[in-house]
Amino acid sequence: MGETSIDLRRRTGNGAAMSILSGHARVAGIAGWPVTYSRSPRLHGFWLQRYGVDGAYIPLPIKASEFAVAIRGLVAAGFAGANVTIPHKLAAFAICDEVDASAHRAGAVNTLMFREEKVFGSNTDGYGFVANVRAHGIDPTAGPALLLGAGGSARAVAAALQDAGTKVTVANRTAERAEALARDLPGLRVVDWNQRVAALSDHALVVNATPLGMVGHEALDLDLSNSPLDLVVADNVYVPLETPLLSAARAQGLRTVEGLGMLLHQAVPGFQAWFGVEPTVDEELRRFMVADLPMR
Ligand SMILES: NC(=O)c1ccc[n+]([C@@H]2O[C@H](COP(=O)([O-])OP(=O)(O)OC[C@H]3O[C@@H](n4cnc5c(N)ncnc54)[C@H](OP(=O)(O)O)[C@@H]3O)[C@@H](O)[C@H]2O)c1
């Protein structure tokens, strides 16, 4: 009828398109301190655009001392839920009215769903890790996995690998923390941090679940020169995309799994719960996210 179509989107400072919301819009976000470096708003923003969702996903800078009161405020304000990142994953577990098995096994929560004034917690990091390994065409149950680190993400990854049927070994700088993890996850083996290179020969997969190799951190010291030729090397660090560990593994001809995919896959269950669409992780999304990351 000759109507003029109006572009209801405008551009944010970083060039991303932003939709105009209705009064029915669903709202979620990411709670962290600091939260300025989080890639989750970019990731969820991409999917909101792709699926034309009447919704928003925003950064929520919340200090540790304000966490519980801020989350109750989000519930009262009608938010659909939130992701939780450093330093709140343990605090999030504590404030939930109910947690699922993934959160219970990890002892930490990264995804909150708000329903009828109640807070439900889940931990999707382990799911994201396993889904990412599979998306690289690698079977995470092909053989035992050696996990380096025993912090929050290592717990989630260890639990998810065990749930998939993989035998897991942990090496951590602070031995007590690895032993505590072994108490919580029966069947998990512990090796000394200084034995991590020797332990590679008994494993099909090695995972860096420490911040070593991340921008601003030293590289992980892991000599791969005598490792089995079929060893798969996974790095949960994704800033930079190509960590020194991944470069070293590729130089040895080993198969690698980059950490960005874990971030993308862990976000799927939350997006589906908050916005009612199961989003797809694909090459277009990966390219969009890579454009905002340092390569090395
Ligand atoms: N790709 C993703 O979606 C995703 C998701 C979550 C996390 N991550 C990555 O995983 C990293 C770890 O996260 P997190 O939440 O598990 O952290 P965390 O709970 O703070 O745990 C950090 C772990 O790294 C170890 N560590 C720290 N500095 C070390 C050093 N200089 N030498 C040896 N070990 C060291 C710690 O050992 P101690 O026990 O001895 O302190 C601990 O086991 C993050 O930095 C992030 O890059 C990625």
- pLDDT tens digit sequence for 13-34: 555 666 789 999 999 999 999 9
Active site residue 89: yes
Predicted TM-score (pTM) of the model is: 0.94
C-alpha of residue 154 to centroid of ligand 1, in Å: 8
Mutation pick for ligand 1 pocket among 44, 173, 217 (CB with most ligand atoms within 8 Å): 173
Catalytic residue among 63, 89, 118, 167: 89
pLDDT number for residue 19: 76
pLDDT at 18: 63
38 lines ligand 1 (CB under 6 A): no
Which pLDDT does position 12 carry in this prediction?
A: 56
> What's residue 5's pLDDT?
46
How far, in Å, from the CA of 29 to the mean position of ligand 1?
23
Under-70 pLDDT residues of the chain: 1-18
User: According to the model, what pLDDT value does residue 295 have?
Assistant: 75
- What is the structure's pLDDT at 3? 40
> Amino acid identity, residue 133?
V
Q: Which two tokens stand for residue 197?
A: 């290179």
State if residue 205 touches ligand 1 by the CB under 6 angstroms criterion: no
Phi, psi for 143 (deg, rounded to 5): -175, 180
Q: Is 238 in the pocket of ligand 1 (CB under 6 A)?
A: yes
Among residues 256, 258, 268, which one has the least CA distance to residue 111? 268
pLDDT digits (tens, 9 = 90+) for 209-238: 999 999 999 999 999 999 999 999 999 999
